[in-house]
């Protein structure tokens, strides 16, 4: 089953249909890519009237909304204008479920990584890394810098 980074970050519930029966599948915060969820007794019926087997669902996390996972770290590219990069300032960073202000130090280079402690996936290494890139406008506008 494919789930988004936001689903794994915040937790989610998905409804699936198995053998004509609707089941609610809870995806917990911090569920890992490739993790297998087991629903006991919800699989195919057993042989000769035996009890039903277990339903195994493998989780696949698909990138989306600009988020990228590397292990338990969440990477996000945030556009920063040249003035903020050169002079310093604040930039709004969207993290799943909220947004926060990141202070960009003056003289920051394109591609600089910023760690946002405690904003990674809820289990394991709880740090997110934000990649900062620059948005360039017309060159004549920035020549005076």
pTM of the model: 0.69
Instruction: Encode pLDDT of 11-44 as tens digits.
Output: 899 999 887 889 899 998 888 889 999 988 888 8
Q: Considering only CA atoms, give the Rg of the chain.
A: 22
Q: Which of 60, 128, 139 is nearest to 93 (CA)?
A: 128
Residue ranges of the chain with per-residue pLDDT less than 50: 124-145
Q: What percent of the chain has pLDDT over 90?
A: 12
């Amino acid at each position: 089953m494919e789930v988004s980074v936001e689903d794994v970050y915040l937790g989610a519930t998905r409804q699936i249909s198995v053998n004509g029966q609707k089941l609610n599948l809870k995806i917990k915060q911090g569920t890992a890519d490739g993790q297998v969820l087991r629903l006991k007794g919800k699989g195919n019926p057993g042989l000769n009237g035996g009890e039903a087997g277990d339903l195994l669902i493998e989780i696949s996390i698909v990138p989306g909304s600009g988020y990228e996972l590397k292990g338990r770290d969440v990477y996000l590219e945030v556009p920063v204008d040249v003035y903020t990069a050169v002079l310093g300032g604040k930039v709004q960073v969207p993290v799943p479920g909220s947004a926060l202000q990141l202070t960009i130090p003056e003289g920051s280079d394109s591609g600089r990584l910023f760690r946002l402690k405690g904003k990674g996936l809820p289990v394991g290494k709880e740090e997110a890394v934000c990649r900062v890139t620059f948005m360039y406008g017309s060159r004549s506008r920035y020549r005076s810098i």
